[in-house]
Amino acid sequence: MKIIAGNSNLPLAEEISSYLNVPLAKSDVRRFADNEVFVEILENMRGEDVFVVQSTSAPANDHLMELLIIIDALRRASARRITAVLPYFGYARQDRKPGPRTPISAKLVANLIEAAGADRVLTLDLHAGQIQGFFDIPTDNLFAAPVFVDDIKKRFNGQNLMVVSPDVGGVVRTRALGNRIGADLAIVDKRRERAGESEVMNIIGDVTDRHCLLVDDIVDSGGTLCNAAEALLGNGAKSVSAYITHGVLSGEAVNRVNNSQLEKLLITDTIQPTKEILSSEKFGIIKIAELIGEAMRRTTDEHSVSSLFD
């Protein structure tokens, strides 16, 4: 087994490597003067089972190109099997045509990864499970739920919890987490009654005096979460925290969360947290390296990966 890291999240790749006790393979992933990506693998890769760890987080296009070029280099170096490990799969939200003459970019990215020469994909909490079908190679979609459960047990032990989906699309993911911790489910139903009027947020479920945990795959601008927190507190919730797998947190998101009514926002480190995030009391980081590392170990040993979630 060999592990190669792109530049998107080196600390995570290093933690995976130390969990597996497999040093990161020596490689050079750098830019030419005109910013083109250049990759040189500095170890023999013939016949190896190679895992390339790279989140396609911002700058998504640069990180995607790094991933594709590393895979190409490995294929030409006669690696036996190449697994693209994408802790965060960028472009996943573009998984359907929102209107005429628009792309399905998630499918295009899947095509590119396959065309580059990946034999397998390993990722976590895909925005929509069906994206697995965009690949014609085996694709494992891990769930952050077990690490969330451990954290919830430590942090919220004994409290009257309720899991809340911030939109109707996230109900399956949220219910699955609720079942693991024995908590009821509530749903935030956003509706614009008439064009030009502001959105109304209805809460489905009685959240009175409950400690609410919002659950989602992505926090980007933070708008969804902060508005949901406000609506839940307005409906009698005692406190609102959130468990989100991928902290995209673009633009003013960290400020927005810092100034929100959310008590705590727990994110994993699939995307490398910035200093601003690390220094904020509102945020908590849940380490994901062991889960990903264990899935990699099972992949290379040809053992079950799904049993990680039983």
Residues annotated as catalytic are: 190
Lookup result for tokens 């005429």: 100
Contact residue for ligand R5P among 64, 161, 219, 254 (CB under 6 A): 219
Residue 129, interface with ligand R5P (CB under 6 A)?
no
Lookup result for tokens 């989100």: 244
Q: How many CB atoms lie within 10 A of CB 296?
A: 25
Residue 224, interface with ligand R5P (CB under 6 A)?
yes
Q: Give min distance, CB of 66 to ligand R5P, in A.
A: 24
177 phi-psi bin (left φ>0, alpha ψ -120 to 50, beta other): alpha
- Given the complex with ligand R5P, which of 81 and 93 has the nearer CB atom? 93
Q: Are 67 and 52 in contact (CB under 8 A)?
A: yes
Residue 251, interface with ligand R5P (CB under 6 A)?
no
- Given the complex with ligand R5P, which of 6 and 166 has the nearer CB atom? 166
Lookup result for tokens 């294929």: 75
* Cβ-Cβ contacts under 8 Å for 240 (sequence gap 6 or more): 164, 211, 212, 213, 214, 228, 229, 232, 233, 261, 262, 263
- Given the complex with ligand R5P, which of 128 and 137 has the nearer CB atom? 128
State the Cα–Cα distance between residues 51 and 48, nearest whole angstrom: 10
Q: Which stretch binds ligand R5P (CB under 6 A): 6-14, 222-230, 279-287, 298-306?
A: 222-230
What residues between 96 and 125 interact with ligand R5P by CB under 6 A?
none
- Given the complex with ligand R5P, which of 128 and 305 has the nearer CB atom? 128
What residues between 155 and 194 interact with ligand R5P by CB under 6 A?
166, 169-170
Residue 269, interface with ligand R5P (CB under 6 A)?
no
Residue 223, interface with ligand R5P (CB under 6 A)?
yes
Residue 49, interface with ligand R5P (CB under 6 A)?
no
Q: Which stretch binds ligand R5P (CB under 6 A): 1-9, 21-29, 55-63, 217-225?
A: 217-225
Q: Give min distance, CB of 153 to ligand R5P, in A.
A: 25
State the Cα–Cα distance between residues 299 and 99, nearest whole angstrom: 39
> What are the Cα distances from residue 88, in Å, to 31, 59, 83, 218?
22, 13, 14, 10
DSSP code at position 134: G
> What are the Cα distances from residue 123, in Å, to 51, 53, 127, 193, 259?
12, 10, 11, 37, 32
Q: Give min distance, CB of 111 to ligand R5P, in A.
A: 23
State the Cα–Cα distance between residues 23 and 100, nearest whole angstrom: 48
Query: Could you check whether the bond before residue 59 is cis, i.e. omega within 30 degrees of 0?
Result: yes
Q: Give min distance, CB of 217 to ligand R5P, in A.
A: 5
Residue 220, interface with ligand R5P (CB under 6 A)?
yes
Q: Give min distance, CB of 204 to ligand R5P, in A.
A: 17
Q: Give min distance, CB of 93 to ligand R5P, in A.
A: 6
* Interaction site with ligand R5P (CB under 6 A): 166, 169-170, 216-224
